[in-house]
Structure 1
Amino acid sequence: MTIHWCGTGLSAIPGLRRLIENGHEVVVWNRTPEKAQAAVGDLTDAIRAFDMDALETALAPGDVVVSMLPGDWHVPLARLAISKGAHFVSSSYIAPDMRALDSAA
């Protein structure tokens, strides 16, 4: 099981670092890989440029997608996770479009 962590803003870093430090397999996806490198590059080299097609290719059944991206990305990422048999985690609110995915999950 791989954790695909999307987004490395300020609120993301403590949890992300803790997962990596505790030996979890984590791939970090960020629009600016250099920013992710500065935040967690001392712990991992599994840092990728955020791209939905690349994430879709990397995602396997049972993996976990964690979205720390802006809210408009949550539904597309959740749909992708569902289509690949993966799990989805968001620290955000549950919008009506997200709630509509309950039956598909």
Structure 2
Amino acid sequence: MRNILIVGAGKSSSYLVKYLLDKAPHESLSVTIGDINTENVKKLIGDSKHARAIQLNVFDDESRSQAIKNADIVVSMLPARYHFEVAKDCVKYGKHLVTASYVSKEMRELDDEVKSKGLVFMNEIGVDPGIDHMSAMQVIDRIRKDG
């Protein structure tokens, strides 16, 4: 059983949660969703046997590190400015990390340690970079067309 921790249960998390819960029975996934507001999480997971809600305040070092320790893979759906604390715990406990945001200077500084531990940190996976990339391509295409 692979344990996936999703940190943050805002609006952009709903599609990820649905996707993972659809895959969970066939892929042996256990999904833990941590958010400061567990009521939102409970709505997202419904009656799924493959998911559980935990109260998680990303600013509380103890609860954050405990949740990360128990995961195999961590997905941070928090705003980009909060990924670094999650990333440091992932390095400390040897956990793989996925984020939907751009790589910050602080995240870049972890790169050597991430590689030396054989970890995979996948950043810029998701909506945040995707929308602006598509918008940029529209502008480029329009400029090319207009000459």
Other-structure match for 1:7? 8
Q: 1:62 to 1:54 in 2, by over 3 A?
A: closer
Aligned-pair CA distance for 1:57: 2.2
Q: Classify the secondary structure of the residue corresponding to 2:12.
A: coil
TM-score, normalised via structure 1 length: 0.88
Q: Classify the secondary structure of the residue corresponding to 2:34.
A: strand
* Paired AA for residue 28 in structure 1: I
State the identity as a percent.
27
TM-score, normalised via structure 2 length: 0.65
Q: Which residues in structure 2 correspond to 1:21-100 (within 5 Å)?
A: 21-23=22-24, 24-44=29-49, 46-51=52-57, 52-60=61-69, 63-100=72-109
- Contact kept, 8 Å, 2:72 with 2:96, in 1: the verdict is yes
Other-structure match for 1:19? 20
Q: Show structure 1 runs of 4+ deviating over 6 A.
A: none
Determine which structure has more spread, i.e. the larger CA radius of gyration. Answer: 2
Aligned-pair CA distance for 1:62: 7.1
* Paired AA for residue 80 in structure 1: D
Mapped partners of 1:34, 1:48: distance in 2: 10
- Contact kept, 8 Å, 1:21 with 1:43, in 2: the verdict is no
Mapped partners of 1:55, 1:2: distance in 2: 15
Aligned-pair CA distance for 1:11: 1.3
The count of corresponding residues between Structure 1 and Structure 2 is 105
Q: Which runs of 5+ in 1 are unaligned?
A: none
